[in-house]
Every structure is written in C-alpha cells, then in structure tokens.
Amino acid sequence: MLSKRSLSISSLLFAASMLVGLTNSAMAQSSSAAGQWCKGVNIVFMTGGDLGSGFADVVYNGAVQATADLGPTTSYVGSNWDVNKMITDFKTAEATHPDGIAIMGHPGDAAFKPLVDEAEKAGIIVTSQNTGLATLESAYKGAGFGYSGADLEPQGQSVGNEAISLFGLKSGDEVLVWGLLAQPGRGLRTKGVEEALTAAGVKVDDLEIDDATQKDVTAGIPTFTGFISGHPNVKAVITDHGDLTAALPKLLAAAGKKAGDIKAGGFDAEPPSIQGIKDGWIGFVNDQQEWLQGYMPVLNICLSKKFGFSGLHVDTGAGFITKDNVAMIAPLVQAKPEIR
C-alpha cells in the first residue's frame, strides 16, 4: 500500500513488470495472450487469517489481482492465524501436488523444514509471505523460495522509534507492548519494538497475545482493560498484531478512555485502523503493504515455474500511516475482497 517513506505499489509493480520484461522474448514465444503467461500453473495461497479478518483481506486482494493479471489457477486457504493449522493446511495442500504453495511463515523454520524439504523433493515451489523463513529461503532460493514481507526486527525498531518521536516519549515513561515476543521468527518484530523503546529509557510492559485473542480480538478485552486499570501511568500502547491494532479504539473505550487519553499505535493497515487514525484514537500504523504480500508470491511462483527464476525477496515494511496521509491510503485499504 502507498505510504510515507515507502515505494508506492505502482512503483513496485512497475519494477516487477520491468523484471518480467527481461524475459520478454521467452514469454512472447510461450504465451498466447498478453499478461496471461502463467496459465496452466496451479498455486495454493495461504492467507494466514480467514477472509473478514481485515489484514488477510488485503493480502487476499493482492493475490487475486496477481492471479487475474498473470493467469494461474489459485486456491486460497485461511488458517485463522493458528500456527498449528498452518502446518496442517500445508500438508493438505502438498497432497494435491500443486506447482507452488505460498505460505505464511508464522510457525517458523523448524516446524516447516521437514514439510518444505518433502515438497521441494516433489518439485513443488514454496515461497513465504509476512513472516520470513531465513533458513529455508537460503536453502531453496535457487528453486524459487522467496519472501514478501517486512524485515521484522528492523521493522519493529522503526515502530518503537516512531512512537518515541510522534508521541514525545521520554526516559521513564511507561509503555505497554502487546505482542508475540514468544513466537519464533514472528516474535522478532515485538523484540525490535522493545529494543528501541528500552534504548530510549522507556519502561516497557511486555504482554503476550494469547491464542484466543489471536483468533478473536474480543477475547482480549478483559486482559487489556485489566492491565490498563492496574497501570494508571501507561502513556502509550503499541500492539504487534494487525487485528488488535484495528481494535484499539474499542479496547481503549472499553477501558474507559477517550481518544488521545493514551497514545496508541501498531502495525498493519486495516479498515478499522484507518478509521481509528481519522478519529484520533490511533496515532500511527506501520504499513507493511500487505497487498504486495499477496501479489508478489504469486508472481514469484509464476516466474520460477515458467522461467526458472530464483526466489524474489521484497521488503514491504518501510512506511507509516498517520493523519497526514491517511486520506490518500484509505481507499486502497478499504476495498472489499472479491471472493474467488
């Protein structure tokens, strides 16, 4: 998604089209219709959350657009952000023998390795989005394993520094970071946030998002309201979870706060978080351009299958959405997913 201090979608897609152009002569010989050079390729795409969860909708929209542009047959699987179900869903997808599988990397390298090893031996291209799998990417990059998403620890550090700057935080201030520090790989983003805040002398209260809240943010309301009532000096809240960030206005209201009483920020551009910025509840969100996390893995698999490209590694997590640029970005975020 378009965002301050980040490349626009159009720029990145233009770059992708130029990359494709490097093989235009081969494509011209193998494609019978312009833009549909990936016909006949079967892809299973993991959206992470189920449709209707906000973040997953935007990822899905990107994958749907790539499928429309390029022509593969793509099936979509939502795992309700459950890392165990992501593993089960991968096994199910592998059993159908697709040409490629695009996975969310949340379960981590260790959990995915035996499954990806098996899929690669069977000639299935695997690539990841949203959460990187550095070991597997290194092992199979030449076979098409890429990554579309943010570099998580630096992304987290940038969010911590943005909170310090935008909220005027100073040494001794107390900040709640509600994230996923305990998750391998995925927890690097929370770690980065806390590193930046701690380096500035900010007192960090780390709170882990439990499984129930990951699947349904309303389950976290008692946890949040209880924490806020027990910590009256909290100056700011940072949520390392797109759906929780989107729910910040409701969470703060449930805790008896008004917009601006506690500064709030987090990750990911979802429709409610966009509205929360407009209404003054949320100061900023880090936009990791999740639309590209849908588009680029489909392009990656098509290029690898058709032309032997190695895996593409695209860092999507550079920019921030604030009240200053939210009007420009809102239409891109609020587009409803077209079910395919």
Q: How many helices (H) and strands (E) does the chain have?
A: 15, 12
Strand order in the sheet with 174-179: 203-208, 174-179, 234-239, 263-267, 284-287, 319-321
CA 24 to chain centre: 31
pTM, two decimal places: 0.75
Q: Which pLDDT score is estimated for 178?
A: 98
- Taking residues 37-63, report their average pLDDT: 92
Q: Which pLDDT score is estimated for 226?
A: 97
Give yes or no on whether 9-150+288-333 and 152-287 have one common fold: yes
> Is the Cβ–Cβ distance between 282 and 273 less than 8 Å?
yes
State how far the Cα of 143 lies from the Cα of 310, in Å rounded to an integer. Answer: 6
The full set of domain ranges for the chain reads 9-150+288-333, 152-287
Nearby residues of 7 by Cβ (< 8 Å), 6 or more positions away: 318
Domain 9-150+288-333 indexed as CATH 3.20.20.80: no
Q: Is the pLDDT of residue 29 over 90?
A: no
Question: How confident is the prediction for the chain on average, in pLDDT?
Answer: 89
Q: Which pLDDT score is estimated for 329?
A: 83
Q: Which pLDDT score is estimated for 2?
A: 40
pLDDT band per the 50, 70, 90 thresholds, residue 156: very high
> Is the Cβ–Cβ distance between 285 and 248 less than 8 Å?
no
> Is the Cβ–Cβ distance between 312 and 146 less than 8 Å?
yes
Please choose, from the candidates 239, 340, 322, the residue with its C-alpha nearest in 3D space to the C-alpha of residue 4: 322
Q: Which pLDDT score is estimated for 163?
A: 98
> Is the Cβ–Cβ distance between 175 and 205 less than 8 Å?
yes
Nearby residues of 37 by Cβ (< 8 Å), 6 or more positions away: 27, 30, 31, 70, 71, 302, 306
* 34 vs 246 pLDDT, higher one: 246
State how far the Cα of 223 lies from the Cα of 308, in Å rounded to an integer. Answer: 49
State how far the Cα of 201 lies from the Cα of 205, in Å rounded to an integer. Answer: 13
* 290 vs 3 pLDDT, higher one: 290
Q: What residue type is 256 in one-letter code?
A: G
Nearby residues of 198 by Cβ (< 8 Å), 6 or more positions away: 204
Q: What residue type is 37 in one-letter code?
A: W
Q: Which pLDDT score is estimated for 324?
A: 95
Q: Which pLDDT score is estimated for 215?
A: 83
Q: Which pLDDT score is estimated for 31?
A: 43
Q: Which residue has the tokens 């890429």?
A: 146
State the alpha helices, DSSP H only, in the chain: 9-21, 24-30, 55-70, 83-95, 109-121, 134-140, 152-167, 188-199, 211-215, 221-230, 242-246, 248-254, 271-278, 290-307, 326-333
What is 152-287's CATH number, 3.40.50.2300, 3.40.50.300, 3.40.50.150, 3.60.20.10?
3.40.50.2300
pLDDT over 70, % of the chain: 87
Strand bridging mode 147-149 / 313-315: parallel
Residue 5 has φ and ψ, to the nearest 5°, of 60, 30
CA 168 to chain centre: 27
- Taking residues 91-95, report their average pLDDT: 98
Q: Which pLDDT score is estimated for 224?
A: 97
Q: Which helix (H) or strand (E) holds 205?
A: strand 203-208
Tokens of 221: 């309301």
Q: Which pLDDT score is estimated for 290?
A: 87
Q: Which pLDDT score is estimated for 335?
A: 66
* 4 vs 160 pLDDT, higher one: 160
